Chain A
């Protein structure tokens, strides 16, 4: 557990994070008040609260979003089921764009720093968050990771979430967009089975299209299902192995990055 702030619910650990830092982000000390049973104080009262359960997470997400905007960063939250090829897609993207844009990565997994090591092998800065038993990243963990990672200015920060199509849907990390990766080796009905995630995402990357000749996967049906839960979702078909379709993904990244730079430039002028 963090001795500075008392955070670290469960078994979350952030690589290299010793908590010897100044706490920059907004922090509540969540476990300080212990139940004190004062004798003679048994009268109960009803308090109207009306507060969103995710309001704490959303406060941290807002702080992260302000950080990203101050630093002109495009931040993408990459979500998928395990085995969709998310890390392969990311490493290829990093290799092909690192000379063009400043890039950094936050890696989320329950255990191991293997993925962060794969990312660092490309020469791009990465930090691993291990969520322990946790099934998703939350905005508080990302806030801490930023303190150690220092993702720089005016680049792109990828947050690779824990492989899980359910839980990460509810937790805003402060990102500009959720990007959902679905591989054609999964069922085309995944958007209907996990509607919350496909509803929350702005872009779907349909990966491993090089395998389509060997599979019975109905691409049109899959896209129709995705649009059924999210009529506005953009869909790009890619293969991180063959490279097919990756240029369209890079073009999307460039135009989103451009939009962030324009917005942060205007904020500076204003």
Chain B
């Protein structure tokens, strides 16, 4: 369950930002999580509340934005959707594909006061 450590990373970044950008409370956190990032978003939500306790993000609402997997097929040069790393091209069956999107694990925005 590395989602717990990922949440610790999120809270560390938020606390850094709190010092730099002078805020004392976080109301909402928007995360971008890619379909291929190997992150269980349910576990992320579960962990976040626990990890945020006692920090500036205590009680903050967590919004997870899912980023769909997208890849380019080197054989037929089309952009195609993928849901796993080893997916073959749905158009021509070629693999491996070049992953274009879906590996993100990012804090996009914070609503703070």
Which A residues form the contact surface with B (CB < 8 A)? 9-10, 28, 30-38, 41-57, 133-136, 138, 166-167, 169-171, 192, 195-196, 199, 225, 228-229, 231
Known: A50-B106, A171-B2. A228 touches B113 (CB 8 A): no
When A33-B18, A33-B56, A135-B2 are in contact, do A44 and B24 touch as well, CB less than 8 Å? no
State the total of A-B contacts with C-beta under 8 angstroms: 126
When C-beta atoms are compared, the residue in chain A nearest to B99 turns out to be A199
Extra contacts, 19 of them, besides A28-B12, A51-B106 (Cβ < 8 A), are A9-B5, A30-B8, A30-B15, A31-B15, A36-B25, A37-B25, A43-B113, A45-B111, A47-B110, A49-B107, A53-B13, A53-B31, A56-B12, A134-B4, A169-B38, A170-B37, A195-B84, A229-B85, A231-B96
Given the known A-B contacts A33-B18, A46-B111, A51-B13, are A138 and B5 also in contact in the complex, defined by CB atoms under 8 Å? Answer: yes
Q: Interface size (B, Cβ < 8 Å)? A: 42
User: Are A45 and B112 also in contact (CB < 8 A) when A35-B25, A50-B106, A51-B107 are?
Assistant: yes
Q: Please name all residues of chain B whose beta carbon is closer than 8 Å to the beta carbon of A57 when the two chains form the complex.
A: 5, 9
Query: Is the Cβ of B106 less than 8 Å from the Cβ of A52?
Result: yes
Enumerate chain A residues within 8 angstroms of B19, measured Cβ to Cβ: 33
Bound-state Cα–Cα, A148 to B22, Å: 37
Say yes or no: A54-B105 contact (C-beta < 8 A), given A195-B86, A199-B85: yes
A170 to B12 Cα, complex, angstroms: 17
Q: Which residues of A contact B38 (CB under 8 A)?
A: 166, 169-170, 196
From A49, A52, A57, residue with most partner B Cβ within 10 Å: A49
Of B8, B37, B110, the residue contacting A9 (CB under 8 A) is: B8
CA distance A137 to B13 in the complex (A): 19
B106: chain A residues within 8 A (beta carbon): 50-53
Q: Which of A41, A47, A138, A195 has a CB less than 8 Å from the CB of B85? A: A195
A39 to chain B, nearest CB (A): 11
Among B4, B16, B37, B55, point to the contact of A10 (Cβ < 8 A). Answer: B4
B105 CB, nearest partner CB in chain A, Å: 4
